[in-house]
Structure 1
């Protein structure tokens, strides 16, 4: 298929897989999606009081624990790895992107960053300056394990579009607050709506103005977003935009 349509070598995807069995949670990922666990803080009363007074947490709030490793140029370890694998290429990381093109350092697809032949098959305007034969990105996954405890409350699985506008702490605070106020509501959909609101505010437009922009053109204002919220009491919510 790629031989017949070489432009497919430009396409790629991140993957986040979570397996929950009893108290064990396994997370496998390729790319920059995140699995963020919300849990009660395991600190002494004095430390909780200090965190509350400093504004780090609110009363009765949860704290985030990211369960997976992120594969992007935001992670210095990933940047060092790519530079080490391409010592002859000063432009391996350029403008905080792999070859000036991708922020993710591992992904499925994106063959033009993995083999010279897929890069050479592209129209000249899409080609990178591929030096050597080693891949610039890989699809090698990271696997993490977490043992659940009574402190753990819910899990947010999301593509990186959510974290263009939220920190891990802000995301779990939004879900915690929403579930408390609207126990029959959909916290996954709420997170996406909040991203759209923040994107609209950032670019000086009304929420409905943003929604009227065609889906493809809207990528200039926010990335595609997929969110799954898993309550450890047994409920699951899914939403995407």
Structure 2
């Protein structure tokens, strides 16, 4: 399920190269989504086709085309002028506000069948995606998973494993030592790299500066960042009926 700027994606490993790849599950609900643009234009009279979306924004103001809240794009024209304009001035009413609602909170629902190759799901706001690509996000979480294995005792995922399979686990664990994470939490790891990451590693002064920007200027440099990571049980998925 997706709404507004929130983006979700799953991550997989390729069986032949064991490389991380990103599988984008949703599309952003904004000006760059042709389907969303067509939906909004169709929901309003023809004479509003040039004003309902201006400069890539809803009524020339709001970037996401679906969202919770933002009542000033949903309430009736009568309420906006009798209550909102009365207490907050007419500037609180968006321009060309003729046939509301313009904004919806109805989510887009997507179905994806999980396989053993799906390892995790990243749910994040656009504050993350404005800074870092989905593929880089997947790489960072994948490396964090591999490195985190070194922080806990080795535990065989199932019984009756062959010596070659156990050897493969040990080799993966050895490789993970190279990427032993500083953060025990993958979401924190993502934020650290998104705000302070460089091609040479983490620039801690840059990270500190980005995290300590005053409220009145922070949105000039970055948007709010919210991240949730869901991990999948590969063994369970491997034995699930098709």
TM-score, length of structure 2 as denominator length: 0.69
Quote the offset at 1:69 in angstroms.
Answer: 4.0
* Aligned twin of 2:170: none
3-state DSSP of counterpart to 1:38: strand
- Higher share of residues assigned helix: 2
Instruction: Kindly state the Cα deviation for residue 163 of structure 1 after the two structures are TM-superposed.
Output: 0.5
Count the aligned residue pairs: 187
Shift of 1:216: 5.2
Q: Secondary structure at the match of 1:30?
A: coil
Correspondence 1:36-51 to 2 at 5 A: 36-41=9-14
Please name the residue that 2:160 is paired with. Answer: none
For structure 1, list consecutive stretches of 5 or more residues without a partner in the other structure: 1-27, 46-58, 200-204, 235-241
Alpha carbons of 1:225 and 1:124: their partners in 2 closer, same or farther (altered >3 Å)?
same
Match of 2:30 among 55, 61, 72: 72
- Taking the aligned partners of 1:175 and 1:216, their CA distance within structure 2 comes to 31
Aligned partners of 1:227 and 1:32: how far apart in 2?
12
What pairs with 1:1-241 in structure 2 (closer than 5 Å)?
28-41=1-14, 59-86=17-44, 87-89=46-48, 90-115=50-75, 116-120=77-81, 121-122=84-85, 123-183=89-149, 184=151, 185-197=184-196, 206-215=206-215, 217-233=217-233
CA distance in 1, matches of 2:211, 2:141: 23
More strand by share: 1
Change (3 A) 1:117 1:170: farther
Q: Which of structures 1 and 2 has the bigger CA Rg?
A: 2
RMSD over aligned CA atoms reads 2.4
CA contact (8 A) 1:38 1:154 kept: yes
